[in-house]
Amino acid sequence: MKIKQAVLFFLLGCLIGPFLLYFVREINDRDITKEHIASAEILFGLEFNEAQRDSMLDGVIANRDGYFAVRELNISNDVWPSILFNPIPHGKQISVDDSPSNWGLPEAVQRPETDSEIAFMTVAELGVLLRTGQLTSVELTQIYLNRIEQYDPILEGVITLTADLALVQAARADEELAAGIDRGPLHGIPYGSKDLLALEGFPTTWGAMPYKDQEIELTATVIQRLEEAGAVHLAKLSLGALAWGDVWFDGFTKSPWNTDIGASGSSAGSASLTAAGLMAFAIGSETLGSIVSPSTRNGTTGLRPTYGRVSRHGAMALSWSMDKIGPITRSVQDAALVFDAIYGPDNLDPTLYDFPFSFNADLDISTLRIGYIASSFESNYAFRSFDEQALDVLRELGAELIPIELPELPMNGFSSILSVEAATAFDELTLSGKDNLMVRQIKNAWPNVFRTSRFVPAVEYIQANRARTLLIQQMDEVLKDVDVYISPSFAGSNLLITNLTGNPSVVVPNGFMNNGMPVSITFNGHLFDEGTVLSLSHAYQKATDFHRSYPPEFQ
């Protein structure tokens, strides 16, 4: 009897099974037809005939089945793609200065009379006070904690205060320095980190409502290295949600130069609070302007290092081929000191390269071949007069400026690289519908960009990256006759090009508009040659005093 039942069920299965499979397929396929393919052709700028569409139909359906299968893996943000970006041009031999750094640190510094004056001192100056016993790290940390309590409600740059941790680290720094243990120029210096860097035991919110309670049980390499250097972690700082702008899930970070104006982003809190004297320096990151822009808006110095220089282990991934981490400080010298503590391989970030770094505080800039982007400086843009004055300062210092022009490629064709990688990094957010929790829901914000990027064909993304290879090769050809070059911070295509090629940039303040807001100029260099870029911009800064101006309402 059981055998007869089994045979009967088998026959019924053979009879009904195909119908069930057809029914399930109809549901999963959502009735994909040749007409849908024809409509998609319009989106992608293609045209096929009826016979071709008919042949494509099964393949299109099979591809989508594959999409569903991969989605089931629930891949987290910290998983790298197997295809890694390499910024080094084909056949290029990287050669950078490996001589010992000449930091040009001050030998004698007198403690100012007021805490606010102390708060605006550079890392280099504070280091002298700590080592001569005029100031302790605990005192300095408390000065900054008091200023955070007083001023952050206005600026809205702190997401998570790490006061207890800071005081413990400061006390340890004082004990070590008193015992003759000196970890270097950052020992005992308080700082803040952009809240896309994980710090074990504390939330890492990425500035976005869907992640406001997220805790990542590891500490980012950059924060680990700063701890090893003896630095004191004060706070995790605001970033525009998922690294765009200055609006985060619980606030709108302002510039201390005008609190009616946003700090720009995405390293909003890092730039704003450093500029306002709420910490000695901060760590920011850039994918496409997120160090350059807030450094400009807040009058700070920002270093965007070469791609592949600073580990992104423990950092939120937005674009695996474009994300860079760097310091935001009050001087170029400070930026060099911080960079020296955080750069280099860690065996965790697979994109890092091992090249030396050397800074020369006494560089004779007349020995350099210095380029400038002639067409950009000659164009009609808002800060032109300030930039012309900066070029004059460099000429007075002995620079012979060489006109150069950057490669001309259809730059709008590269936009899909960032948007597709970002959409991939946060695909789960889009698929779950939790992107509706994001504060900014306008067209020009991540939720809409993520959704729109779903319609970029994989072929076009790969083609954009092949064009990027051409850009890298052409950029190398342009720079073969100069050691370093200068550009407006925003006029022209330099900001986009260098973020795509991975070349380093240093942005420094170079004046103030009539409304009191700071402006900036940018120094750029060869891959992995931060030393020359920093040394030249330091020479410029020594000849000017824009970086010594502080927001009046916060002094």
Query: In the annotation, is 266 catalytic?
Result: yes
The sign of the CA dihedral 127, 358, 284, 333 is: positive
Listed in sequence order, the DSSP H helices in 343-433 are: 374-378, 384-396, 415-425, 427-432
**300, two tokens:** 């700070």
Any idea which fold 115-409+458-554 has? Amidase signature (AS) enzymes (3.90.1300)
pLDDT of the residue at 12: 41
The residue from 238, 266, 270, 295 that is catalytic is: 266
Domain positions in the chain are: 115-409+458-554
Q: How far apart are CA 533 and CA 510, in angstroms?
A: 16
Instruction: Give the tokens for residue 94.
Output: 């990287």
pLDDT tens by residue, the chain, 555 residues: 444 444 443 344 444 444 433 443 444 546 899 999 999 999 999 999 999 999 999 999 999 999 999 999 999 999 999 999 999 999 999 999 999 999 999 999 999 999 999 999 999 999 999 999 999 999 999 999 999 999 999 999 999 999 999 999 999 999 999 999 999 999 999 999 999 999 999 999 999 999 999 999 999 999 999 999 999 999 999 999 999 999 999 999 999 999 999 999 999 999 999 999 999 999 999 999 999 999 999 999 999 999 999 999 999 999 999 999 999 999 999 999 999 999 999 999 999 999 999 999 999 999 999 999 999 999 999 999 999 999 999 999 999 999 999 999 999 899 999 999 999 999 999 999 999 999 999 999 999 999 999 999 999 999 999 999 999 999 999 999 999 999 999 999 999 999 999 999 999 999 999 999 999 999 999 999 999 999 999 999 999 999 999 999 999
**Cα–Cα distance for residue pair 33/37, rounded to 1 Å:** 7
194 is annotated as an active-site residue:
yes
pLDDT of residue 31: 85
Active-site pick, 290, 311, 487, 535: 290
The pLDDT of residue 114 is: 98
- Residues 101, 137, 193, 194: which is the catalytic one? 194
Three-state SS at 525: strand
- Cα–Cα nearest to 348, from 223, 195, 221, 225: 221
Cα dihedral 411/413/415/419 (nearest 10): -170
428, 74 contact by CB (below 8 A): yes
The sign of the dihedral angle between the CA atoms of 10, 15, 21, 23 is negative
Other C-beta atoms closer than 10 Å to the C-beta of 239 total: 34
Secondary structure class of 209 (helix, strand, coil) = helix
Contact 149, 223 (CB under 8 A): no
Distance (Å, whole) CA 509 – CA 393: 14
What is the token pair recorded at 67? 């999409």
How far lies 287's CA from each of 85, 371, 422, in Å?
A: 14, 24, 10
Contact status, residue 298 vs residue 274, Cβ threshold 8 Å: yes
Sheet holding 484-488: strands in order across?
158-161, 232-237, 190-194, 281-286, 324-329, 301-304, 505-512, 518-525, 484-488, 370-373, 401-404
Q: What is the C-alpha to C-alpha distance for residues 73 and 56, in angstroms, rounded to an integer? A: 27
What pLDDT does residue 503 have? 98
Q: Are strands 281-286 and 301-304 parallel, antiparallel or unpaired?
A: unpaired
SS3 of 247, please? strand
